[in-house]
Structure 1
Amino acid sequence: MKDIIIGIDAGTSVIKAVAFDLRGRQLAAGSVLNHYLSGADGSACQSLDQTWADCVAAIRSLGDKLPDLAARTAAVAVTAQGDGTWLVGAGNRPVSNAWLWLDARAAPTVRDLAAGPLNRARFEATGTGLNTCQQGTQMAHMDRYAPELLDQSQVALHCKDWLYLCLTGEQATDPSEASFTFGNFRTRQYDDTVIEALGLSHRRHLLPQIIDGTQVTHLLSSEAAVQTGLLAGTPVSLGYVDMVMTALGAGVHTGTVGAACSTIGSTGVHMQAKRSGDVHLNAEGTGYVIALPVPDVVTQVQTNMAATLNIDWALRLAADLMSDTGKPVEYSDLVSRIEGWVSRAKPGALIYHPYISEAGERGPFVNANARAGFVGLAAHHRFPDMLRAVIEGLGMAARDCYAAMNAEPTELRITGGAARSQALRQILASSIKAPVRVSQREEAGAAGCAMMAAVAIGAYDTMDDCIGEWVTPLLGQAEQPDPDLARVYDQVFPAYVSARQSLPPVWDALQGDPRAPWTKATDPHDEHTEMTLDATFVSERSER
């Protein structure tokens, strides 16, 4: 009996293979820790072959936990970290390591493109502001400084597209990443003006076909079947980008008017589902508009480069200081102390801007030089005050993002590892001034793409039918904002925004000369450090 759908979620920190029954009950999961290379030039790269090998290992691990997995699998679906550039050449072989969404090398090209005459038209079509994460800007940067990479390529893919190619032999991408990078969110197709605005008209042949995984599947190849242990001919569905797959699994679109969804993982993703005609495009030209696998429904999105990475930094700082006393302390050992530290600190005493990422910030503004910092430190402040400010900074950043979308959520569904923190949930609810609900779904990203496969194979007639059974019943009880805390944050928020609007000259001065463009004379493997994103707060691959 074919009663299992496997959802693959290939994240920056972990690659997971998760088994669900046809009614959405999670049965088992297998996972493999992911790795990437980080360089002093701002690069962040990942091996395509290793990513596929890790995906195979995750599927094999799942097979060890579920008897007769191959015979029971009705379909496979795949999603993965978004943005980035995964170049594939002759024989479907990698041209180079992938440039990840974390890669900051395209910063000078982003500045040039943003000042171009077609940039507003590009934004009106895609609904998406330019940043260093995106495939379009990365390819434009390569075209300027390393054209041989594109010359050797037959197709430019994203992470999930690469895994789909490995699974099926088909070169394809999905409507979500295609439209927010190179297309129009209204038509979900490529757009000539957008491609021209990026200076890539002569590279258009590198863009793959667009397929919707709720309608089109391809069959698991014989080669992939041997490697994964699954049966050749099993239908494979190409999911949408991980951000919306996670949001779909967590409840961004359930029919509740005004509901929104925030993912608080390594990065922060804040979104609200809307009809395409109701999208509010801000004057600053920032954010994303990303299609959902529902007709004419998109998500308007603002994303922070760093969310729990800020908490990681604070706890690592504490662990390092404590370890220097002679008794080694692991940063993960301090996670259990967060609630106590936060409860001892006065709300709103400090302002913290959570721009800890080396790549700067992309939501609700784009600035590669943006950096984190405290405002208001005094001699009486201690570590609990600073830690509380860090977490409150995530709440302020979320509020800043929703304001840029002209959105006032009536209810906030939250997911990501940090959703386990009661202190963070209360701070978020009070910052946004809306009740929060946490989905009981353990692996929302894998569930989102598995839902697409469920519709594709006919287990459900529509995605809304599937949502009604896979998502809505798993939403937890609403946790109300604290009125007193909300009043404090109403006073703090204008100062938070005013400070971050005043800081760009300071950030620029600290950064010094703009980072030199990466060129072919720079070996992208020099001075690289192998990195993993810590999984302390990561219960799912929603963090990107």
Structure 2
Amino acid sequence: MQQQDLIIGVDAGTSVIKAVVFDREGQQLGLASTPNRVLYGAHGAAEQDMDRTWADTAATLRLLAQQVPDLAGRSAALVATAQGDGTWLIDAAGRPVGPAMLWLDARAAGEVAALRASAAAAPLAERTGAALNASMQSGQLLWLRRHAPQRLARATTALHCKDWLYFQATGVRSTCNTEAIFTFGNYRSGAYDEEVLALLGLPELARLLPPIVTPGSAHAPLTRAAAQDTGLRAGTPVVPAPMDVPATLLGCGGIAYGPQGLLRSVGCSVLGSTGMHGWASTDLQAIRPSAEAGYTMLMPLPGVCMRLMSHMAATLNIDWLLGLLAQAAEFAGAPVPARAALLERLDHAVLAAAPGQAIFHPYVAENGERGPFVDPCARAQLSGFGASLGLSGLARAVYEGIVFAARDCYAAFGPIPEEIRLAGGAARSPALRQLLANATGRPVRVSRREECGAAGAALLAAVAIGEYASLRDALPRWVDSHLDAHVTAPDPAQTALYDRLFPLYQQAAARSRPLWAALGALRSGTSTGLAGAAPARSPPASAAATASRGTRA
């Protein structure tokens, strides 16, 4: 019988679907990818065709098989993580009920704003551990109930992206404890919470919520139909995974234990399309959830959770900048360089440019900002520049804006941890690694793995099929051994400059919120003007204290 020595991890992101194959010890052996398509529409719609997402995932797995001899026969397990939040509805027959609403979809902003302004906001945060934002399935279900009730009437299950892929592979309807709890549950009990559904005004939609499973705790066989789609062997164990953020945090070293077996004060930043920042904790009683912003995500380790703050747009800002460069080249009649070449040139230009020439707020996402404040009207802005600001200075400001947003998220929780582990597309950028170290005053370390999300998911699959006794036992081989020995140290002079600029970054954002609200009213066709604007967020009472570079207690 053929030895089943491989584990396949899929990471279905917003823009790219990747399939990565590992051996049982965690060494990456092959990778295939397929572009994913977001369908943008009126009023902030951002959707994906559910059937196409599955078809593209299956096609990516078939591409992977072209690289690895006898992939089907050698696969011991398949696991898929994916973009988080959003709403993927299916009916009784398992067919999609319309397109999926993504985390980028802005249409539920009004419903979420009303909830956030109500008396329900604080008790919801206290129970779920998370603040409401328009990316979550809760607000999107409220929007669907108002604007597309026929879709909800047809739906029997509300899934997330990774749940849809798991259902397509196995026929099993379920979700992970991470997304289920911070949306509809209680992070202390780890179960759905009827009071949360009542506070959301969604008690009748409890029927849509699938059973909760802990990632890595079980598996189901790949169906014959899914085997035919993917080219894999029917019966291959398929392991339910968490969403991409916990999977990436696992894969990049966000869970770090010291010599006495205690969690270290290690921060973790995931800078992909969006940005996520925080650290692990075993002290659930010490968590003080905020109704303003942030998530508490249960991890697939007993008693461990991640307290996280997410800003809506990270490398989306670089995508915007690359788009401008491509348009400028076309306008000038010049050939457009390849993306990889442009990114390399940008990195060199950013590192060579003088720091702090302007302040850029990286709010380019159409659904505004979600951390460390929530404002669906927030928009990007460039402040304090003059005619001498050239392209390199502009690029530097954009990159600085991304790392200031990261520091803003850390500052919302208190002092920054002693070290930051960086994952996501930004981990491959020398400029972003250095600027993150400079902006936070903390050394930055990355994993040598390029696909930390797929690796974290595959790690859970290795535990589920019995390769390791526990997830903690697997961490040294699967994660720690892949951390880069090189650490990017902060430049003290630039850190001192950023310490002075960061409070100005916060103040400028706070003072701009009435302007954003007025512009949002104009975009929506109303005319509330500045009088109807949302109140500005005041900067912390002591910027020096909240941005302290001291070790977290």
Where on the TM-score scale, by shorter chain, does this alignment land: which range?
over 0.9
Q: What stretches of structure 1 of length at least 5 have no aligned partner?
A: 518-544
Shift of 1:348: 1.6
Query: 2:144 maps to what in 1?
Result: 142
Given the alignment, which residue of 314, 318, 323 partners 1:311?
318
Query: 1:369 maps to what in 2?
Result: 377
Given the alignment, which residue of 173, 176, 190 partners 1:174?
176
Q: TM-score, structure 1 length as denominator?
A: 0.92
Query: 1:26 maps to what in 2?
Result: 28
Q: Give the distance between the partners of 2:108 and 2:248, measured in 1 at CA.
A: 27
Q: Give the distance between the partners of 1:323 and 1:162, measured in 2 at CA.
A: 40
- Superposed CA deviations along residues 333-353 of structure 1, whole A, max 9, x for unmatched, are 422221332234221221111
Q: Give the distance between the partners of 2:523 and 2:191, measured in 1 at CA.
A: 35
Query: 2:495 maps to what in 1?
Result: 486
Residue 249 to residue 341, structure 1, CA distance change in 2 (3 Å): same
Equivalences for residues 119-518 of structure 1 within 5 A: 119-256=121-258, 257-277=264-284, 280-281=287-288, 283-330=290-337, 332=339, 333-476=341-484, 477-513=486-522, 515=524
Q: Which amino acid aligns with 2:496?
A: R
- Superposed CA deviations along residues 389-431 of structure 1, whole A, max 9, x for unmatched, are 1111111110000011224111111112222222211110011
Q: Give the distance between the partners of 1:394 and 1:422, measured in 2 at CA.
A: 14
Shift of 1:281: 3.0
Q: Give the distance between the partners of 1:186 and 1:284, measured in 2 at CA.
A: 17
Shift of 1:217: 1.1
Contact 2:126 2:290 in 1 (8 A): no
Q: Which amino acid aligns with 2:209?
A: L
Q: Which amino acid aligns with 2:198?
A: E
**What value does the CA root-mean-square deviation take over the aligned residues?**
1.6
Q: Give the distance between the partners of 1:48 and 1:507, measured in 2 at CA.
A: 33
Secondary structure in 2 matching 1:130: coil
Residue 343 to residue 172, structure 1, CA distance change in 2 (3 Å): closer
Query: 1:7 maps to what in 2?
Result: 9
Contact 1:409 1:432 in 2 (8 A): no
Of stretches 123-132 and 98-107 in structure 1, the one that deviates more from structure 2 is 123-132
Q: Give the distance between the partners of 1:318 and 1:21, measured in 2 at CA.
A: 41
The number of residue pairs the alignment matches comes to 517
Q: TM-score, structure 2 length as denominator?
A: 0.91
Contact 2:129 2:289 in 1 (8 A): no
Secondary structure in 2 matching 1:90: coil
Greater relative CO (CA pairs within 8 A, separation 6+): 1
Of stretches 281-290 and 13-22 in structure 1, the one that deviates more from structure 2 is 281-290
Query: 2:545 maps to what in 1?
Result: none
Shift of 1:306: 0.8
Of stretches 243-252 and 305-314 in structure 1, the one that deviates more from structure 2 is 305-314
Secondary structure in 2 matching 1:397: helix
Q: Give the distance between the partners of 2:360 and 2:48, measured in 1 at CA.
A: 31
Contact 2:89 2:98 in 1 (8 A): yes
Q: Give the distance between the partners of 1:54 and 1:410, measured in 2 at CA.
A: 41
Q: Which amino acid aligns with 2:297?
A: I
Residue 461 to residue 316, structure 1, CA distance change in 2 (3 Å): same
Residue 337 to residue 103, structure 1, CA distance change in 2 (3 Å): same
Residue 516 to residue 470, structure 1, CA distance change in 2 (3 Å): farther
Residue 44 to residue 276, structure 1, CA distance change in 2 (3 Å): farther
Q: Give the distance between the partners of 1:362 and 1:231, measured in 2 at CA.
A: 42
- Superposed CA deviations along residues 430-465 of structure 1, whole A, max 9, x for unmatched, are 111110011001211111111111111111111111
Query: 2:532 maps to what in 1?
Result: none
Q: Give the distance between the partners of 2:25 and 2:143, measured in 1 at CA.
A: 45
Residue 500 to residue 434, structure 1, CA distance change in 2 (3 Å): same
Q: What stretches of structure 2 of length at least 5 have no aligned partner?
A: 259-263, 527-553
